[in-house]
């Protein structure tokens, strides 16, 4: 929300950063706001590069915006104004000579100074004067002026020690009066010297300028006039050059300001032994060993703000307000890349769109605003913004505490929807109890050392603290008698009520924590259960493959045994049959208990595929998977857990005719059973062979690949097939060469 200098200064004052910011600003070469425009991530890379090198301190400088504006209008600058640009360019040249890391080195090298500008730079001395060696006439004039000044000094010295004038001299000193070198004399001096009176002293004496010195003065004025004319010529010529290169001068002026931001931060961090912490994504704040700059001997703060609301309770004068200011200050300083004291390896600062501190008493007699009304005005402004970090000190200030508790709870809950993060201090247990039940509220208590009867300036997260109002009053000098009477009025019942509120809030949070742990454990168990189910499916699939392997071995062994028996009844035949029976026994699956009672239309899972039951017969079911009908044992089916849309079953449209005159060149097997598809393929190829076709197409689709495998196996065994192949880019069809 801080958009102008006045608001920014107000926030700096509220956070007790005035002295810190003033001390930091003293490291600037010229006055400017502390905020830097541009990408903060790029700025920190330049700062990191500058941290590793010793660089010259930049010269003190005044803003040159007015001079640049005059250059745009082709005005003639004074030599002193021109020299300010020369000073900046000279400093840039010194930076270019340094060895620095990227990306800073590339940025400095990119500042290429035009030759015409460098010519102007060469005319100036380190003192900002035109170098007489570059202009002979100016050199001669300066020599003449020096000789004339010595002549004036010698002439005045001789007159001051002249015996004839001695009786009229008040003293022998040379007096500077209205810029003129004069002698101080008494009345009657005209009898011994010709001179002009340039003034009178308070004692009635006369300041005189002897005529002999006047001639020398006149010559000096003439020389100075000639010198000013030459300097004016230089100023005019240099201004014309600078007008031509005004855009470069504007660029180098901005570059100087940018580098000034970097060098001030690096030098300030070195002087204070501070570190930089770059803001990160999110609205979380984690402070480790943080020290607020306003405190001379602070207790380092270690705290985490990872919830939308932090509620600070506890002992009076225990550091709650300073903790609030510390959190906001850390975010403020990181936002503007200002270094501070902390452990940077464990400190995390989130990114917020603005910072708002509702800390001071907003009461205004002039505007007829009470304390509570002022607070409402400040809260009303928050509804126009999103993503803020807001600190509120003594939130119930100015009105009935019970009403304030209900009101501010609703206000904070509503503003949280606008991604506003709150850090709130309060002494009201009612508000703490209301907000402490919320998992999105972080409770922090300022601790009190009851043995030594003083605050510890340390904090405990996750609990509600006691105010210790009576103990604090006594510590600051209130009579124990008064304190005792106050305790009597307060009553033991309210004391116990406060303790009960604190305990119930703490128990509530403990219970919520345990519930959260149980929910987490439940999610972990559910995840583990799903993993075990997946492993079970994989193992069943592997078992099916092993059984299929044994079945194939059994069939092969049986075939070999039958072939041997047909040839000759022998021991070899019996051995082969025994071998086949052994494989058959291994292939026999153990009976599975049927736990699922299927019905037509159920969505089921078969192996790793999902499909739908079309019909049921005894212990088998006809199912549809990826457009393919299959008969499978019911024991291999499982009910699919998640619902799925029923796929539309494509109707078989194959019609194979053996008519020699109307033989088809392609056939579609989509939607057929395996045996039905092979029968149709056989009729189709027979008709094609009878018709004398050389090439036909069998469209079997991709799906699970079962139909494609059946077609491939059939074609390999067919005696009239010359060859077959799959067209490139179309795996759902097979071209057959007859």
Q: With 0-12 CB in 10 A as exposed, 13-18 as middle and 19+ as buried, what is 355? A: buried
Q: Quick one: pLDDT at residue 112?
A: 92
Q: Which residue in 222, 198, 193 sits closest to 210, CA to CA?
A: 193
The answer to whether the CB of 160 falls within 8 A of the CB of 183 is yes
pLDDT at 265: 96
Q: Give the Cβ contact number of residue 155 at 10 Å.
A: 16
pTM over 0.75: no
- The per-residue pLDDT for 593 is 57
Say what the pLDDT of residue 507 is: 59
| pLDDT tens per residue, range 540-558 | 778 877 877 777 777 777 7
Question: Among the CATH numbers 3.30.450.40, 3.40.50.11260, 3.20.20.70, 3.30.1370.110, which is that of 660-737?
Answer: 3.30.1370.110
Same fold across 133-232 and 660-737:
no
* Angle, CA of 356, 362 and 367, to the nearest 5°: 125
Rounded to whole angstroms, the maximal C-alpha distance in the chain is 172
Three-state secondary structure string covering 222-273: HHHHHHHHHHHHHHHHHHHHHHHCHHHHHHHHHHHHHHHHHHHHHHHHHHHC
Instruction: Retrieve residue 510's tokens.
Output: 């403990």
Taking the domains of the chain in order of start, what are their residue ranges? 133-232, 285-490, 592-649, 660-737
CB neighbours (10 Å) of residue 247?
10
Tens-place pLDDT, residues 676-687? 888 888 888 888
CA torsion 586-589-590-594 (nearest 10°) is 180
- For position 544, what pLDDT does the model report? 75
Considering only CA atoms, which of 696, 678, 708 is closest in space to residue 736? 696
Q: Which two tokens stand for residue 633?
A: 């044992």
- Could you tell me the CA-to-CA distances from 566 to 557, 562, 581 in Å, in that order? 14, 6, 18
CB atoms within 10 A of CB 488: 8
Q: What is the pLDDT of residue 493?
A: 47
The Cα–Cα gap between 450 and 455 comes to: 8
Q: Can you tell me the distance from the alpha carbon of 444 to that of 287, in angstroms, rounded to the nearest whole number?
A: 14
SS3 breakdown of the chain: % helix, strand, coil, rounded to 5? 50, 15, 35
Say how far residue 718 (Cα) sits from the centre of its chain.
Answer: 70
The 3-class SS string of 673-694 reads CHHHHHHHHHHHHHHHHHHCCC
| DSSP conformational letter for 608 | T
Residue 127 contacts by C-beta under 8 Å, 6 or more apart in sequence? none
pLDDT at residue 440 in the model:
86
103 cis-preceded (ω within 30 degrees of 0): yes
Class of the 285-490 domain?
alpha beta
Cβ contacts of 53 within 8 Å, gap of 6 or more: 98, 99, 100, 101
Q: Is 176 left (phi over 0), alpha (psi -120 to 50) or beta?
A: beta
Hey, which CATH number is domain 592-649, 1.10.10.10, 3.40.50.620, 2.30.30.30, 3.40.50.9100?
A: 2.30.30.30
Q: Does domain 133-232 have CATH number 1.10.1420?
A: yes
Helix axis angle for 429-436 and 401-416, nearest 10°, is 30
Contacts from 207-211 at CB under 8 Å and sequence distance 24+? 207/175, 207/177, 207/180, 207/182, 207/183, 208/182, 208/183, 209/180, 209/181, 209/182, 210/155, 210/156, 210/159, 210/183
Residue ranges of the chain whose pLDDT lies below 50: 1-3, 365-368, 468, 493, 497, 644, 646, 649-661
Burial class of residue 106 in the structure, from the number of CB atoms within 10 Å of its CB (0-12 exposed, 13-18 middle, 19+ buried): exposed
Query: CA–CA separation, 38 vs 353, rounded Å?
Result: 15
Q: Are strands 354-358 and 388-392 parallel, antiparallel or unpaired?
A: parallel
For the beta carbon of residue 576, count every other beta carbon within 10 angstroms: 20
């Amino acid at each position: 929300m801080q958009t102008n200098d006045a608001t920014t200064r107000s926030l700096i004052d509220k956070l007790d950063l005035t002295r810190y910011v003033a001390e930091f600003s003293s490291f600037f070469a010229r006055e400017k706001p502390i905020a830097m425009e541009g990408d903060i991530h790029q700025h920190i890379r330049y700062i990191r590069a500058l941290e590793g090198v010793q660089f010259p301190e930049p010269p003190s400088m005044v803003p040159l915006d007015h001079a640049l504006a005059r250059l745009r209008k082709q005005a003639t600058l004074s030599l002193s104004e021109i020299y300010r640009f020369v000073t900046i360019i000279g400093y840039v040249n010194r930076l270019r000579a340094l060895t620095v890391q990227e990306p800073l080195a590339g940025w400095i090298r990119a500042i290429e100074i035009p030759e015409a500008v460098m010519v102007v730079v060469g005319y100036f001395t380190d003192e900002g004067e035109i170098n007489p060696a570059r202009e002979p006439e100016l050199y001669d004039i300066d020599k003449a002026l020096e000789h004339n000044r010595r002549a004036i000094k010698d002439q005045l010295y001789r007159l001051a020690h002249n015996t004839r004038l001695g009786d009229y001299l008040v003293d022998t000193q040379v007096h500077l009066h209205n810029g003129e070198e004069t002698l101080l004399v008494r009345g009657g001096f005209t009898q011994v010297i010709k001179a002009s009176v340039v003034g009178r002293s308070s004692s009635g004496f006369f300041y005189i300028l002897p005529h002999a010195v006047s001639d020398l003065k006149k010559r000096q004025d003439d020389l100075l006039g000639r010198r000013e004319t030459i300097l004016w010529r230089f100023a005019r010529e240099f201004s014309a050059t600078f007008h031509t290169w005004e855009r470069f001068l504007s660029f180098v002026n901005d570059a100087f300001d940018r580098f000034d931001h970097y060098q001030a931060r690096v030098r300030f961090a070195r002087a204070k032994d501070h570190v930089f912490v770059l803001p990160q994504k999110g609205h979380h704040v984690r402070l480790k060993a943080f020290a607020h700059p306003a405190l001379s001997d602070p207790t380092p703060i270690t705290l985490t703000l990872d919830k939308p609301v932090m509620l600070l309770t506890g002992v009076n004068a225990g550091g709650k307000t300073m903790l609030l200011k510390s959190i906001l200050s850390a975010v403020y300083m990181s936002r503007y890349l200002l270094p501070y004291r902390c452990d940077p390896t464990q400190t995390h600062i989130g990114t917020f769109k603005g910072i708002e501190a509702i800390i001071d008493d907003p009461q205004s007699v002039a505007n007829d605003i009470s304390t509570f009304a002022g607070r409402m005005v400040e809260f009303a402004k928050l509804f126009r913004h999103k993503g803020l970090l807001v600190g509120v000190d003594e939130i119930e200030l100015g009105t009935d505490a019970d009403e304030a508790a209900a009101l501010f709870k609703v206000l904070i809950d509503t503003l949280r929807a606008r991604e506003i993060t709150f850090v709130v201090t309060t002494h009201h247990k009612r508000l703490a109890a209301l907000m402490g039940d919320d998992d999105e509220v972080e409770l922090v208590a300022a601790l009190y050392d009851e043995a030594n009867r003083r605050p510890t300036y340390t904090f405990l997260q996750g609990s509600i603290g006691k105010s210790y109002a009576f103990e604090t009053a006594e510590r600051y000098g209130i009579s124990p008698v008064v304190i005792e009477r106050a305790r009597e009025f307060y009553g033991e019942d309210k004391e116990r009520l406060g303790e009960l509120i604190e305990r119930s809030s703490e128990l509530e949070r403990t219970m919520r924590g345990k519930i959260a742990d149980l929910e987490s454990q439940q999610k972990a168990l559910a995840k583990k259960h799903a993993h075990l189910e997946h492993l079970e499916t994989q193992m069943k699939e592997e078992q099916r493959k092993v059984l299929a392997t044994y079945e194939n071995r059994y069939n092969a062994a049986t075939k070999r045994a039958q072939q041997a028996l047909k040839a000759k009844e022998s021991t070899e035949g019996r051995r082969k049959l025994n071998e086949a029976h052994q494989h058959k026994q291994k292939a026999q699956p153990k009976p599975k208990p049927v736990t699922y009672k299927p019905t037509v239309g159920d969505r089921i899972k078969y192996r790793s595929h999902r499909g739908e039951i079309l019909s049921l017969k005894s212990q088998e079911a006809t199912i549809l998977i990826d457009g393919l009908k299959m008969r499978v044992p019911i024991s291999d089916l499982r009910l699919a857990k998640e619902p799925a849309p029923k796929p539309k079953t494509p109707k078989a449209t194959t019609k194979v005719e053996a008519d020699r005159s109307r033989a088809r060149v392609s056939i579609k097997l989509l939607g057929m059973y395996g045996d039905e598809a092979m029968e149709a393929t056989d009729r189709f190829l027979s008709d094609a062979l009878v018709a004398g076709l050389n090439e036909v197409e069998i469209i079997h689709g991709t799906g699970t690949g079962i139909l494609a495998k059946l077609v491939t196996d059939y074609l390999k065994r067919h005696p009239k097939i010359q060859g077959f192949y799959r067209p490139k880019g179309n795996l759902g069809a097979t071209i057959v060469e007859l």
